[in-house]
Amino acid sequence: MSAKKLTREELIARAEKPGKDAVKLHPFYRGKIQITSKCVVRDMNDFAIWYTPGVAKSCLAIKDEPLAVYEHTNKANTVAVVSDGTRILGLGDIGPEAGLPVMEGKALLFKYLGGVDAFPIMVDTKDPDEIIDFVLKLQPSFGGVNLEDLSQPKCFYILNELRKKAHIPIWHDDQQGTAAVTVAGLINAVKVVNKKLSEVKIASIGAGAANIRITHQMFLAGVRPENVIMVDSKGTLRTDREDAEILATKYKEKWELAKITNPQKVKGGIPEAMKDADVVIALSKSGPGVILPEWIKLMASKAIVFTCANPVPEIYPWDAMEAGAAIVATGRSDFPNQVNNSLGFPGIFRGALDVRATTITDEMCLAAARALAKVAEDKGIHENYIIPTMDEWEVFPREAAAVGMKAIEQDVARIKHTKEELIRMAEKKIKNARDTVQLLMKEKFIPPAPED
């Protein structure tokens, strides 16, 4: 698995293999999720319990006490994954149908990693107010909503409005999930190179929803705004830029960052922002070639490089290491140090659902980030291990517990549990989900994948 043992051609071939396999296996399975029963069906008489006439008693119980819906139904464990298909991965606006495979994948990860029943819902509208209205109307059926792959700037507006109006957790994974996991990796990366969050200089490459939220989450974790330079497609963010008026009116989130970052008003683009930086956090456009090796050579010693564009990072890890980077992270599972929101949303929603939280706060996200970082630190962090992998399933219960306890502390939880109870609850649900898949595979209800 070590990059040093493979030729450049072999490394590129390995990077391209998941895409080739996906084109073959998606049609074979006709999707990735299905609905199965969780109650007993001993004989046909049981349908009188689960459906009419018996179910009427549960309906009336909920009518008398609306919160009883959490006890009589699966609402407490359900999440809607909602997208309009306008910013799918690094592919852009490819439409709701083309985005459905991503949302199905999201639902699969929710269940296998977090024990959460998630359902993909692609909406045939790009209007932000229509999306807001649609999500609010979903609340009776779902315990939470995961917004996914919405273009900016409307994604900020949609999330902010829904967080104000909804009474269940509303979350935009491209913003909050990516931010939590990235900050977790950053917390440990600076420890490995013996630097401090409050002192490192950071070049943020890309000013989309993910990197904007990452930047705010870094501030909450201890990064100083004056040590950050952000770059969008037109150059470094600064208040004296030629399009300042457009930023201030149309891209308010960028403008707010322009006012508090880059106090030296450094001009230029990616290489100028990277000069003397300790850290690069890149979530811009799919590479390679977006970040060049010679730009990494401009960075400070023991440079930390997060190149997390999908499906291909802005620079391949082996090229970044050869250029002098001490630590390289990407968004891919086939390279070391995967910084991917799949490490975040299953555990974060698990914790939020288990305390029936009414929202997911920024502090809950930071609690998740610190829990993620601590799991890796406990095992021994180093250049190629700054964050846990998805294989380390124990990370999700610990993350869930951290989120649930923070929700209780912030008084946004409807029910309370101890940390130990939350860990046990999460472990049971996640183990059940994983064991179910393995059983279905063993019994061939999920057929084996065809051989190459």
Q: How far apart are CA 404 and CA 408, in angstroms?
A: 6
- With 0-12 / 13-18 / 19 or more C-beta atoms within 10 angstroms meaning exposed / middle / buried, residue 237 is buried
Burial zone of 291 (CB within 10 Å; 0-12 exposed, 13-18 middle, 19+ buried): buried
Output the pLDDT for position 4: 53
φ and ψ at residue 339, rounded to 5 degrees = -105, 95
Phi, psi for 88 (deg, rounded to 5): -85, 115
> Is omega for the bond preceding 53 within 30 degrees of 0, making it cis?
yes
Residue 119 is predicted with a pLDDT of 97
pLDDT at site 452:
61
The structure tokens listed for 64 are 């008398």
Enter the pTM of the model: 0.91
Q: Count Cβ atoms within 10 A of the Cβ of residue 2 and give its class: 0-12 exposed, 13-18 middle, 19 or more buried.
A: exposed
pLDDT tens, per residue, the chain with 452 residues: 444 567 778 777 877 888 888 889 999 999 999 999 999 999 999 999 999 999 999 999 999 999 999 999 999 999 999 999 998 877 889 999 999 999 999 999 999 999 999 999 999 999 999 999 999 999 999 999 999 999 988 999 999 999 999 999 999 998 899 999 999 999 999 999 999 999 999 999 999 888 999 999 999 999 999 999 999 999 999 999 999 999 999 899 999 999 999 999 999 999 999 999 999 999 998 889 999 999 999 999 999 999 998 878 999 999 999 999 999 999 888 889 999 889 999 999 999 999 999 999 999 999 999 999 999 999 999 999 999 998 899 999 999 999 999 999 999 999 999 999 999 999 999 999 999 999 999 999 999 999 86
229: enclosing H helix or E strand: strand 228-232
Residues 6+ apart with CB under 8 A from 356: 70, 76, 143, 413, 414, 415
209 vs 434: CA distance, rounded Å:
32
Query: What would be the CATH architecture of the domain defined by 74-175+342-442?
Result: 3-Layer(aba) Sandwich (3.40)
- Residue 87: is it exposed, middle or buried by C-beta count within 10 angstroms (0-12/13-18/19+)? buried
35, burial (CB in 10 Å: exposed 0-12, middle 13-18, buried 19+): exposed
Predicted confidence at residue 2, as pLDDT, reads 44
- Catalytic residue numbers, as ranges: 51, 106
The Cα 56–Cα 37 span in angstroms is 20
Q: What are the start and end residues of each CATH 3.40.50.10380 domain in the chain?
A: 74-175+342-442
- CATH 3.40.50.720 residue ranges in the chain? 194-325
The encoded tokens of residue 442 equal 């063993």
Q: What is the largest CA-CA distance in the chain?
A: 75
Q: Which CATH class is domain 194-325?
A: alpha beta
